[in-house]
Every structure is written in C-alpha cells, then in structure tokens.
Amino acid sequence: MHEILTEIDAIFDEPATVDESGCLELALAHLRRHGVSACFLVAPCGSVRLMHPRTHALPARVDPQLLPGAAEPSHPERVHLDTGIHGPQPVAFLPLPQEEEEERGWLGLLLDPDAEPPHLERRERSEVLALARCAARYLRLARRLDQQRTRSRHLQNEERVLRRAFGDTIDRVLEEREQHLREKREHIDQLEREVEKRSAALREALERAEQANRAKSVFLANMSHEIRTPMTAILGYAEALLDPSVSEAERLNAVHTIRRNGQLLLDIINDILDHSKIENGQMKAECEPCDLPELLSDVYSLMRARSEAKGVPLVFRAQGAVPRVIRTDPTRLRQILINLVGNAIKFTDAGYVRVTVCLCPPAPGADPAAPPQLQFSVTDTGIGIAPEHQARIFDPFCQADSSTTRKFGGTGLGLAICRRLTELLGGQIDVESELAVGSTFRARIDPGPLDGVELIDQPALELALASAARPAAIEHLELQRPIGRVLVAEDGPDNQRLICFILRKAGAHVTIAENGRLAVDLALRALADGAPYDLILMDMQMPVMDGYAATAELRAAGYTHPIIALTAHAMSGDRERCLATGCNEFATKPIDRADLLAKIHRILRAREAGSA
C-alpha cells in the first residue's frame, strides 16, 4: 500500500513544463494591447478559478447571467462584475472551445476602464483560447492532482489508522498469545513441580515404609532372640527340676536361674512396652511436685541389693546445693536413673558406681537466659565404651559390642528409652567413656520453677539416703504381722495357687472366687454376716463378670473395704482406670511378692489409721 501511494505521489510531483498561470500569462500577452489588464478562468458552475496577474481582486463566483452562451462568436460583450473590493469592473467573457469530455468554461477578461471588449482575429482568438484551455486543463489536472493528493492523504491516514488498528490488534494478539504461552508454561512448570513434590513425598513415604518394615523385622528378630534366651533357661531348668535325683544345691541353682530369667523376661516386656509407647508418641510426662531426696532414696533402695551382690559400692552425692522439691514426672525420672544405675552396676566388676546430682547452667547451645537444669551423673569404673560405639548406644536395639548380649544380656532398648524420657522431661542425655576405665552418663532435666524452693546439700542428702534403709526394715517387720481374711478373685488355677501360697505364707486366711460374680456375692454376704473380708485382691480380667464390673457393683452397694486391682495390663492408663472404678491400689502381673505384700500392708495400715 505504501509503495503504491509513493508511486502516485511521484507521478503528481513531476514538474510541469508550462504551468497554468504561465498559459494565462501568454494569453494575456496577446490581449494586453486590446486593453485587457488581467484574465481569469471561470468554471462551468460559475466559480472563478484562476486569475492572472493575481493582483486583481475578483469575486469567487460569476453570475451565470453574465456569461455568454457557448455559441457566442468572436465579439465578446462588455459587462460589469462587482468584485466587492473595487466595485463594478468592466469584463468580457470568451467561451472556451469545448473538446470531448471536457467541461465548458470561459476566459474572463478584465478590461481597462476605457477599453472595449477586444475584437480578436481568428488566429489570435484561437491561440488565446488554446492557451486558456491549456490553463483550464492544467487547472483541472491540478484539481485532480489535489484530489489525488487529498485521496492519498486519506489513504495515508487510513493506512496509519489501519496500521495502528492492525498493529494494535497484532500486538494485542501476540501479547495475548505470549501471555497464554507464559501461563501454559507456568502451569506446566507448576504441574512438574507438583509431580516432583508428590514423587518426592511418595519416595519418602516408600522409604519410610521400607525403613519401618526393616525396623519391624529387626525388632522381631531381636525380640525373638531376647525372649528365647531367658525362655530356654527357664524351660530347661524347670525340666531339670523334674528329675528326682537333683541335689539340693542344683535345685537351688535351678530355681535362682529360673527366677533371674523370669525377671529378665519381664524387663524385656516392660522395655518393649515403653519403646512402643515412645514410638507411637503415647509416652507423656505427668509432672508433679517431687521430693528429690525421697526419689533418690527409692533408686538407692532398689539398686542397693544388686550393687551389694556384685560387691560394687553404690554412692549418691549432691554437688553443691540442690532443690529439695522439683517439678517433674517422678516415675519417668526414676526409670531413667534405675536404667543408668542398672547398666553401671551391670558393666562394672570392681570399683564403684556413683550418682552425682547438681544444678548446672543450661547446656551448651541452649538459651543462656534459660533456668538452670538438674543434672544426674552416673559414673562407673566398669568396662567403658569404645569411642566409635558411643554415638550409637542411644539408638534402639544397639549394643556397643555383640559379645555384650552374650555376657550381660539386655535388649539394647534401655538407653534409647532413657534418651526419649530425658527429652520428655525437658533435657538431654550424653555419655563420656573410656574403655577399661569407666563411663559417665549425664542426664539433664528441667527441674521446674525453683523460686522459693528449699535447697539441700550433701549432708542432708546423706541423711535422707540413710533413712532409705528404714522403710524396708519396717516393711520387713510389717510382713510378720498377719494380714487377716483375704478374698482372692482370680480365674487362673496357677495364679490362684501362687497367690494363695504367697498370702498364706504371710499369715492370711484366703478364700478364692473364680469370677467377679462370685466375688461380689461372697463379699456382700460376709459384710451382711458382720464379718467382712479385710481385703479383696481383684483380678481385672475374668470370665462371667470382670474385675471392673465387680468392683463397681460392690462400691455401688456401699462396700467400703479395700480392694487391690491385679492386672496383666501394664500400659499407661490402666492404673487410672482401676482406681477410677473404685480400687484402692493397683498391682501388676507377674506378681512381685515383696511389692504385693508391701502394698497390702500399706493399705491395711492406712485403713487402721483411718478407723482408729
């Protein structure tokens, strides 16, 4: 389009050899001597188009009345034309010869005021008119050129408009396309990222599942091994006892072995329960005010027998002042200490085991403004742990050395449990050890708010520990006292026999009920007869009516005498459930004779004190 317009422009821009006013000038040259001062062209519609010389003023139009007909011959008439500026001026009009397709026009002659219209000879007249026609043609061409120029301008404008419109549209379309593409690309990127994220999550889940599967297999293999080892000893020695020819010494040895391995099995089961609770996130700390010397005394009295049996003294130290009462979960803290002290005694044949307690600043890396932590260091002079094993021993089922299991037994769960428990109590655990020199395990816990708490030192702690021996002695004396009449609700014949044996040995009169229904009936009848049982030992899992329903029915009937729950369910929450049902105490199976008797005596003593 642009090229065409440029071409058209070039045609019109060609310089004319003779311009229109030049033609009129030549015509005027002929006419001047006839008294013509200027000449002009009149278009067929009467409009004045061209004047030479231009110094003269003329109206824009000529009244058609003034214009002679085309047939008028060579003698033009003199008329007056009002220019509006110079007033009426004498003029004469010569009709231009009309060629084919040409518009007719006139040659206007402005006359000198005194001049008459010229009488032109034939040749002169035709020359003049030819020049005028030529001027008229130029005029028309110029007009057409103007028109073409105008059209060209229009076209250019249109082109610009179209260009703008098209340009805008194209730009917009392109922009829209690009935007669309960008969005598509972004969408694809997002999808790819999403797919990548999901694949990673799936890979992770798969990895976790595989890990869990591997851990489960390792766990089962470990457990199978752990349980089979003591089981082999128990079954083997039990069978040996059936032989009537075993000597008294062999019998005693077999019984001790069976007992020790039974205890080991129980420890394993407890560890597994704790470990699974930790794994399931069910292990919760139940913090309460806790008397520190009392708790250390408990640990001391529990572990003392073991350390004495090995000839390894167990000592407790307070380094600096320590709080008498802290806020923590005493059961979990006791469990940590028993585990660490148990290991220390287990892995030490000579020297000592020392438990040091102190208040210490927050661990390195912790907030320096944080309150101090309470640290328990368990130091032994035992076999020690090689540096390459020290980091792993806190992992579940990990033992520093495989020969350890063979020599000392154990599941490799104890320290893993300790680590989680210390974390649960707001602290952490670590170890420092040297092979053949000994180890120090440090467990730090959050002791809770210490403002206004009484502080005690080494002598006060020693005093508390010294008195730790006394309760055992008192319990021992208490055990000698007859227990009275006991109703045992228990369905298993072996357990019935065992409980009867323990209680009768302790001087009790025992009645057996095989289920909860019978127990309720017997207890209520004895109460009605005015001779209630001193105590009911209630197994919680029984046929016909379980211990929960039986206890609830007794309490609902106004039965106020003591009931101790007996259950093989040792998971957290079981104790609370038994107490909530109305039991006064809770003992677990397998039965720990000393623990059961101690609980019975404590309950009976409390009742006596209450009724006194």
Length of the chain: 612
Whole-angstrom Cα Rg for the chain = 62
User: In the complex with ligand ADP, which residue's Cβ is closer, 89 or 343?
Assistant: 343
Give the footprint of ligand ADP on residues 364-403 (CB under 6 A).
380, 382-383, 385, 393, 399-401
Give the nearest distance from C-beta 262 to ligand ADP in angstroms. Answer: 17
Give the nearest distance from C-beta 343 to ligand ADP in angstroms. Answer: 4
Q: Quick one: 171 exposed, middle or buried, by C-beta within 10 A (0-12, 13-18, 19+)?
A: exposed
> Residue 480 in contact with residue 603, Cβ under 8 Å?
no
Query: If residue 304 lies in a helix (H) or strand (E), which one and from where to where?
Result: helix 292-310
Which one among 152, 307, 343, 567 touches ligand ADP, defined by CB under 6 A? 343
- Cα–Cα distance, 97 to 137 (Å, whole number): 12
Does 414 bind ligand ADP (CB under 6 A)? Our answer is yes
Give the nearest distance from C-beta 592 to ligand ADP in angstroms. Answer: 20
Q: DSSP string spanning 317-380? A: EEES-EESEEEE-HHHHHHHHHHHHHHHHHT-SSS-EEEEEEEEPPPTTS-TTSPPEEEEEEEE
The site string for ligand ADP over 415-434 (x = CB under 6 A, - otherwise) reads: xx------------------
Does 135 bind ligand ADP (CB under 6 A)? Our answer is no
Which one among 76, 412, 532, 562 touches ligand ADP, defined by CB under 6 A? 412
User: In the complex with ligand ADP, which residue's Cβ is closer, 163 or 317?
Assistant: 317
User: In the complex with ligand ADP, which residue's Cβ is closer, 411 or 588?
Assistant: 411
Does 344 bind ligand ADP (CB under 6 A)? Our answer is yes
- Cα–Cα distance, 293 to 374 (Å, whole number): 13
- Cα–Cα distance, 59 to 78 (Å, whole number): 17
Does 314 bind ligand ADP (CB under 6 A)? Our answer is no
**Beta bridge partner(s), residue 441:** 378, 431
User: In the complex with ligand ADP, which residue's Cβ is closer, 257 or 399?
Assistant: 399
The site string for ligand ADP over 36-65 (x = CB under 6 A, - otherwise) reads: ------------------------------
Give the nearest distance from C-beta 441 to ligand ADP in angstroms. Answer: 7
Angle subtended at Cα 469 by Cα 468 and Cα 472, rounded to the nearest 5 degrees = 105
DSSP 47: B
User: In the complex with ligand ADP, which residue's Cβ is closer, 135 or 385?
Assistant: 385
Residue among 362, 354, 281, 294 at smallest CA distance from 324: 294
Compute CA distances 594 → 318, 359, 468, 478, 506, whole Å.
30, 35, 16, 11, 11
User: In the complex with ligand ADP, which residue's Cβ is closer, 438 or 547?
Assistant: 438
Does 117 bind ligand ADP (CB under 6 A)? Our answer is no
User: In the complex with ligand ADP, which residue's Cβ is closer, 382 or 448?
Assistant: 382
Which one among 404, 422, 567, 588 touches ligand ADP, defined by CB under 6 A? 404
Residue 281 C-beta-side C-alpha neighbours within 13 Å: 0
Does 510 bind ligand ADP (CB under 6 A)? Our answer is no
Give the nearest distance from C-beta 314 to ligand ADP in angstroms. Answer: 13
Give the nearest distance from C-beta 524 to ligand ADP in angstroms. Answer: 48
Give the nearest distance from C-beta 420 to ligand ADP in angstroms. Answer: 12
Interface segment toward ligand ADP; rule CB under 6 A; list 164-172, 179-187, 409-417, 595-603: 409-417
Q: 48 in helix, strand or coil? A: strand
Give the nearest distance from C-beta 434 to ligand ADP in angstroms. Answer: 10
Interface segment toward ligand ADP; rule CB under 6 A; list 16-24, 75-83, 137-145, 339-347: 339-347
The site string for ligand ADP over 566-595 (x = CB under 6 A, - otherwise) reads: ------------------------------
Give the nearest distance from C-beta 400 to ligand ADP in angstroms. Answer: 3
Give the nearest distance from C-beta 378 to ligand ADP in angstroms. Answer: 7
Does 347 bind ligand ADP (CB under 6 A)? Our answer is yes
Q: 138 in helix, strand or coil? A: helix
Give the nearest distance from C-beta 302 to ligand ADP in angstroms. Answer: 16
**Beta bridge partner(s), residue 433:** 439
Residue 128 C-beta-side C-alpha neighbours within 13 Å: 27
Tell me the site size for ligand ADP, rule CB under 6 A. 20
Q: Which residues contact 277 (CB under 8 A, 6 or more apart)?
A: 283, 571, 572
- Cα–Cα distance, 346 to 336 (Å, whole number): 15
Give the footprint of ligand ADP on residues 468-487 (CB under 6 A).
none
DSSP E strands in 428-552: the ranges are 428-434, 438-445, 455-456, 484-489, 508-513, 535-539
**Beta bridge partner(s), residue 358:** 319, 375
Give the nearest distance from C-beta 442 to ligand ADP in angstroms. Answer: 12
Give the nearest distance from C-beta 316 to ligand ADP in angstroms. Answer: 17
User: In the complex with ligand ADP, which residue's Cβ is closer, 76 or 414?
Assistant: 414
User: In the complex with ligand ADP, which residue's Cβ is closer, 314 or 540?
Assistant: 314
Which one among 410, 448, 562, 582 touches ligand ADP, defined by CB under 6 A? 410
Which one among 89, 328, 439, 581 touches ligand ADP, defined by CB under 6 A? 439
> Residue 73 is encoded by which pair of tokens?
């011959």
Q: DSSP string spanning 56-87? A: S---SB--GGGSPPTT--S-PPPEEEE-SSS-
Strands 353-360 and 314-319: parallel
Residue 518 C-beta-side C-alpha neighbours within 13 Å: 14
Could you list the residues that contact ligand ADP (CB under 6 A)? 343-344, 347, 380, 382-383, 385, 393, 399-401, 404, 410-416, 439
